[in-house]
Structure 1
Amino acid sequence: MHPLHHYLLFNSLENMSSQENLSSSTLPHDLILMYSTSTGGIDPHTHLAFEFMGTETVDDFFSSQAAASAGGTTMHIDFVIPVSGSLTAGFEAYEKKAKKSCMDYGFHTAITKWDEVVSKEVEIMVKKKGINSFLAYKGALMINDELLLEGFKKCKSLGALAMVHGENGDAPSLPKFLSLYLSCFSASS
């Protein structure tokens, strides 16, 4: 929760009136009540307070969540980008950033390298930190196919979800893919 505000989200006014022990004497003076007539949305792919190439996005956990909640989003799943490849250090950094939160959130973790340490950290993330989905890239932030498969095996063994961006930077330069591309977009078609 953001330290300056307290939030309550009710699905309807009826739910609010049926809440036990809810009186003006028990509510914080700076309470902001938010009403909804239906369930909210979940944004499954966010990058809040995202550090990249020496910069950080201006949309932090509070400002982004406040804006999202105004539009009906009630939860999001943010990507933890590892600090120097360490999932644990990345998770701890994002936990600190998320202290400004004013809505429910979860984390995915990006896999930017693969070795025995990362393999053990994946297990810690799943079993102790509640992270059950991981995204692997290929190239700059990315790993090669062999390491990607090792990550898939680890996720499978833990019952975690492995995710990938649906692009492959090497594919367009491979002759087989190049010929498919050219035949799909030839002048005769």
Structure 2
Amino acid sequence: MKALLFSGGVDSAAIAWMEKPEALLFIDYGQLPAAGERRAARALAHAMSLPLEERSAPLGRFGSGSLVGGPQTSGRESEFWPYRNQMLITLAAMTYSHCDPLEILIGTVVSDSAHPDGTAKFVAAMSAVLSAQGAVSVRAPAIKMTGAELLASSTLPPELLGWTFSCHTGEWACGQCRGCNKHNELKAMSKGGK
């Protein structure tokens, strides 16, 4: 089984369109933008005719950075939440532990290497840890692509791009965070045909 951690953002939407996984998994883990992400995830899953599962694991008190409205981790991007991707991948493995084999897809692109949990080394390490308990692997199909390259290679329709949500600070797009800036740049590139 192939399951994609699905935030409703541009990267996860493009990967969902490209990979057509058997399951999309949205997790509300206590992040401030959860309501906006959930709306986008539901709309996109419906439009793509892909099954969406939703889970809640309120872990906001363990977080830091703009995703929880807390202090920024020293020397990191404002949205960095230490061990977040490790947590989400583990929750996905727990959700689908009845599936054998299981491949967990994550929407990591080149720019995510700014975070320790956005690197090829991290993905390989998580895959190795999970495989110690079963036939589970982790793959980041776009880890060597920029967001623009992923969007172009996925051929995600422009109308679906409009449903995506990438803000890091709240339920509605702030227009100022790194997520909103990336979202706006990719939408502009898509409209310009570049």
User: How does the TM-score come out when normalised to structure 1?
Assistant: 0.30
User: How does the TM-score come out when normalised to structure 2?
Assistant: 0.29
Larger RCO, structure (CA 8 Å, separation 6 or more): 2
